[in-house]
């Protein structure tokens, strides 16, 4: 027996078979683990991709985040219908400013502009189920969207005022504007998509390739803009615009000062895209006049029915807009639009009457209107409950100064030149000389916040930010505070106080006419004294990106 055992131990036959069987078993186990590991890696990638897509889709409409995330994940076969197993969806606010990434997303922050999605589920083991515990797969993603608000500043609709709007627009456009009240009404009602208008302008100046930003870097004639508007309208609006376009080529219009498109500017010209922002044909025409690069001046002789008024003349000049400023803009919070500074000169000549010894009265006035500005503060994306979104803007109406004094041609055109101060001679007759000084200031130092709801955006509501300084009658306030100096040369004439009161009585009826003249000229430019009109056309949230 001992010999047989010893012999068995020394027998090496079939040992390779045993080693092969053992090695095959180990190899099979390793292969099973390797295959399942690769499968789990791929499954984890698909899970992360699904979560990222769900977060991006939900970020555009945070109010429906859970519903949207479920729909995406169910469609990707990563979640059972109507299930929340392992799913966490949190809406909040994302701010890229903090240095620490963990501090940038605030759960529950308002207005919500980001969605965090987390999904955890068991992985699938095909071969190693009996060898290792089933792992849990985890994927998380945060997507944020930056709302882009389209808005304009100075969108007050021009209206006829004794032909004043026609005169001002004709001078500034460099063409002929002769519109009736019905024409203005038709132009105000005509709505034109921004990108379609730029396509039409591009065709007329030979730009049919490149992006809208490339097109906006060019100039077009005001008559060309009117013709482009006409091609996109019908009826009375088209007839009126064709008449303006046929009145001459007009002045050059830097298109970059007419509009800024934000991310939309990267689209190709003529791509058939729609901005979703419809502008009024009248607003666009008025804005074109205010940015036209002609002599930027208008001089109008006005007729008035005020007793004793001999003549009334108005001259105005429009300053250069700040660098990068435009009338219409689309962009994220922080986007700003500004109007230009306006300087105006008015001269009224009157008959003094017997109370003033028949002396003629000359009343020279000047108005300095600083630029207004509006900036997007925040915005909420469109949702089912608010299909047009909402926006908050900070608006600073332009400060205004109305004074008594003669403004030279050089001072009218040079906005850096100081306006006149001191006494101005109103009556300079042989035996009677009256001089006066007066100035009224309207200023707003702190921005005024205007909120636009979805319903207001849809209705095209124009909101006005007004200074806290009352501006009921600018000219009335000025004439009511005249500091008069009366010099009487002659024996037996009335005392100075009598002449001073007679002059005040003569000027008092002029206040409404002067106010109407000032407001009418500014309204033709979409502006107001101590006021800023703002309109929001829409909010876009179609470019969500992953941020975590």
Q: Is the pLDDT of residue 401 over 70?
A: yes
Q: Which tens digit of pLDDT belongs to each residue from 78-103?
A: 999 988 999 999 999 998 889 888 89
Tens-digit pLDDT profile for residues 195-214? 999 999 999 999 988 999 99
Pairing mode of beta strands 360-369, 342-351: antiparallel
The whole-angstrom separation of Cα 520 and Cα 44 is: 67
What is the per-residue pLDDT across 420-431, written as a single tens digit (0 to 9) for each?
778 999 999 888
Select the more confidently predicted residue: 491 or 64.
64
Q: What is the pLDDT of residue 457?
A: 93
- The mean pLDDT value for 260-273 works out to 87
Determine the pLDDT at residue 67. 93
Length of the chain: 548
Beta bridge partners of 48: none
For 237, left (φ over 0), alpha (ψ -120 to 50), or beta? alpha
294/175: higher pLDDT: 175
Q: Show the tokens assigned to 513.
A: 């006419």
Report if pTM > 0.85: no
**Percent of all residues in the chain with a pLDDT value above 90, rounded to a whole number:** 37
State the Cα torsion 65-67-72-77 to the nearest 10°: 130
> What three-state secondary structure class fits 413?
helix
Our CA dihedral for 195, 198, 204, 208, rounded to 10 degrees, sits at: -60
Longest dimension (CA), the chain: 167
Tokens matching residue 107: 């759960």
Residue 490 has pLDDT above 70, yes or no: no
**Adjacent-strand bridge partners of 299:** 315
Beta strands in 324-445 (DSSP E): 328-331, 336-338, 342-351, 360-369, 373-380, 390-396, 400-404, 424-428, 432-437, 439-442
The least confident of 126-140, 393-407, 503-517, 532-546 is 126-140
Q: Copy the structure tokens of residue 406.
A: 């003669």
Q: What is the C-alpha separation between 476 and 344, in angstroms, rounded? A: 17
Q: Is the preceding peptide bond at 111 cis, omega within 30 degrees of 0?
A: yes
Query: How confident is the model over 368-389, as pLDDT tens digits?
Result: 988 899 999 989 888 888 889 8
Residue 175's closest CA among 243, 228, 230? 243
Residues with Cβ < 8 Å from 299, sequence gap 6 or more? 171, 313, 314, 315
What number of CA atoms fall less than 13 Å from residue 476's CA on the CB side?
Answer: 9
DSSP summary character for residue 136? E
Return d(Cα 386, Cα 337) in angstroms, integer.
25
Least confident of 123-132, 338-347, 496-505: 123-132
- Token pair belonging to 421: 């101060």
Can you tell me the distance from the alpha carbon of 301 to that of 296, in angstroms, rounded to the nearest whole number? 17
- The pLDDT score that the predictor gives to residue 4 is 58
Query: Please, are residues 447 and 397 in contact by the beta-carbon 8 Å criterion?
Result: no
């Amino acid at each position: 027996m001992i010999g047989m055992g010893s012999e068995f131990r020394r027998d090496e036959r079939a040992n390779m078979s045993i080693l092969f069987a053992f090695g095959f078993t180990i190899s099979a186990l390793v292969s099973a683990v390797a295959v399942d590991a690769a499968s789990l890696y791929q499954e984890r990638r698909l899970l992360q991709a699904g979560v990222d897509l769900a977060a991006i889709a939900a970020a555009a409409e945070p109010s429906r985040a859970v519903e949207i995330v479920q729909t995406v994940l169910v469609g990707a076969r990563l979640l059972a219908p109507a299930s929340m197993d392992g799913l966490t969806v949190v809406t909040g606010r994302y701010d890229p400013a903090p240095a620490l990434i963990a501090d940038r997303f605030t759960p529950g922050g308002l207005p919500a502009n980001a969605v965090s999605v987390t999904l955890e589920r068991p992985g699938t083991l095909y071969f190693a189920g009996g060898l290792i515990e089933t792992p849990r797969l985890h994927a998380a993603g945060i997507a944020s969207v930056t709302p882009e608000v389209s808005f304009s500043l100075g969108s007050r609709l021009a209206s006829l005022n004794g032909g004043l709007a026609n005169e001002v627009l004709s001078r500034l456009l460099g063409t002929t504007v002769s519109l009736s009240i019905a024409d203005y009404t038709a132009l105000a009602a005509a709505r034109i998509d921004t990108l379609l208008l730029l396509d039409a302008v591009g065709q007329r100046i030979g730009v049919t390739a490149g992006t809208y930003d490339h097109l906006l870097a060019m100039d077009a004639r005001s008559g060309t803009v009117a013709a482009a508007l006409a091609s996109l309208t019908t009826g009375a609006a088209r007839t009126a615009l064709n008449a303006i376009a046929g009145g001459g080529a007009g002045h050059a219009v830097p298109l970059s000062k007419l509009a800024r498109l934000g991310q939309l500017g990267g689209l190709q010209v003529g791509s058939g895209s729609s901005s979703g922002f419809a502008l009024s044909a009248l607003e666009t025409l008025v804005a074109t006049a205010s940015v036209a690069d002609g002599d930027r001046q208008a001089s109008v002789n006005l007729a008035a029915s005020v007793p004793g008024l001999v003549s009334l003349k108005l001259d105005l000049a429009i300053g250069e807009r700040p660098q990068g400023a435009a009338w219409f803009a689309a962009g994220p919070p922080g986007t700003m639009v500004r109007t230009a500074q306006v300087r105006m000169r008015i001269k009224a000549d009157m008959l003094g009457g017997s109370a003033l010894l028949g002396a003629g009265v000359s009343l020279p006035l000047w108005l300095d209107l600083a630029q207004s500005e509006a900036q997007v503060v925040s915005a909420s994306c469109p949702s089912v409950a608010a299909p047009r979104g909402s926006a908050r803007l900070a608006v600073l109406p332009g400060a205004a100064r109305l004074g008594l004094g003669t403004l030279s041609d050089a001072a009218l055109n040079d906005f850096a030149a100081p306006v006149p101060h001191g006494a101005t001679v109103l009556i300079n007759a042989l035996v009677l000389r009256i001089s006066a000084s007066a100035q009224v200031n309207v200023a707003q130092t702190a921005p005024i916040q205007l909120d636009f709801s979805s319903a207001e955006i849809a209705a095209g509501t124009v909101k006005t930010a007004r200074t806290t300084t009352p501006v009921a009658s600018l000219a009335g306030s000025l004439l009511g505070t005249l500091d008069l100096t009366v010099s009487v040369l002659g024996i037996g004439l009335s005392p100075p106080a009598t002449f001073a009161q007679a002059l005040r009585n003569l000027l008092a009826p002029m206040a409404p006419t002067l106010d109407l003249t000032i407001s009418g000229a500014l309204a033709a430019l979409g502006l107001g004294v101590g006021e800023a009109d703002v309109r929001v056309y829409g909010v876009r949230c179609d470019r969500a990106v992953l941020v975590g």
